[in-house]
Structure 1
Amino acid sequence: MSNSTAIEQKYNKWIIVLSIAIPLVVAALFGVNLRKLGFNVEPLTFLPPIYASVNGLTALILLVALWAIKNKKIKLHEGLMKTAILCSVLFLIMYVAYHMTSDSTKFGGEGAIRYLYYFILITHIVLSVVVIPFVLVTYVRALSQRFDKHKKIARITFPIWLYVAITGVIVYIMISPYYN
């Protein structure tokens, strides 16, 4: 077994665990409202524009990272991708913190815009779960220096991750008029 294969196998268990645990933990915490449980916490109502901005930043970072790799700026690409992963983690932490301290906001639009909003929201949520193992596998393949396999899966990962980042901003823009 090559060292590259050993590295991939070492991380495969973690990829599976994280790909299952992250959505389950987020879903579980999403349903927990600390204020309704009697905890004296301030609602973190300032977070949605911040985490929407982090999503926008992630999209920009992904685009610059694509440019970097196409221009053979490998170290820049590597740093940008690590930053994009960090941004996604920060988004997730802020998103969960907001929903654990604040009441959910209902979308108030009507007619076709309502259907559009829910289509974007649902595809955003589903793909945000789907992209987790893709990002992790893509990253591990780069770590293990299996760049042929990395490139192959990155072609799938990139558009999904970019879609999730962009639609996160769109969902925020569409729902923001309905925040209290």
Structure 2
Amino acid sequence: MSEVKTSLRTINIISVVVPVAVAVLLGIRTKPDLGEWTRVLPGLNAIINSLTSVFLILGLYFIKNKNREAHRKVMTAAFGLGGLFLISYVIYHLTNPSTSFGGEGVIRYVYYFVLISHILLSLIVLPLVLRAFYFAVIGEFVKHVKLVKYAYPIWLYVSITGVIAYLMISPYYA
């Protein structure tokens, strides 16, 4: 099997395992206690998502201005922040119960629209981003550009709506 096929198969496996693992973590009733520090993780995740959004916008700016090196650096940073976010998100949900949204009326519908669209698109964007990053690393820029046309706006939306969802639910954290 070629190296590319092996890498794409690995990306497919990661793209399935990560959401399944997160779903399992959300369903765990008895949470291990790793300490109070885990309660700051949602705020940290919002900061990570905010920085990711900034790096994504900078990445677009740099590539539009043909500054490939700056583009590569900020997109690699955004990709790294995505990994850091995932680790932090998993630790938080492994150790803390889910928080219910307490808003009422129209704001409740707005929150659930933001949250559900964020979750669904995060499932879609993971394999797209992994593939786009992989193609950039191996120098397959035609494939990279084709994927980024879809991955970029979804990734930016997921990053921004992650922050919005946090801001909307943060008053209800215990």
Q: 1:139 to 1:41 in 2, by over 3 A?
A: closer
Distance 1:25 1:40, change over 3 A: closer
Match of 2:22 among 26, 29, 32: 26
User: 2:79 corresponds to which residue?
Assistant: 85
- 1:13 corresponds to: 9
Consecutive unaligned residues of structure 2, counting only runs of 5 or more, are none
SS of residue paired to 1:98: helix
* Correspondence for 1:127 among 121, 131, 134: 121
Moved over 6 A (4+): none
For the aligned residues, what is the CA RMSD?
Answer: 1.5
Deviation at 1:78, TM superposition (A): 1.1
Unaligned residue ranges in structure 1 (runs of 5+): 1-5
Q: CA deviation at 1:144?
A: 2.5
Task: Determine the structure 1 residue equivalent to 2:92.
Answer: 98
Please point out which of 42, 46, 49 is paired with 2:35: 42
Deviation by residue 1:161-180 (Cα, 9 ceiling, x = unmatched)? 00000000000000011112
- 1:41 deviates by 3.0
**Which residue of the other structure, out of 144, 149, 165, is the alignment partner of 2:159?**
165
Contact 1:107–1:175 (Cα < 8 Å) also in 2: yes
Q: Percent identity?
A: 45
Aligned residue in 1 for 2:50: 56
Match of 1:70 in 2: 64
Q: CA deviation at 1:40?
A: 4.4
TM-score, with length taken from structure 2: 0.92
Contact 1:52 1:172 (C-alpha < 8 Å) held by counterparts:
yes
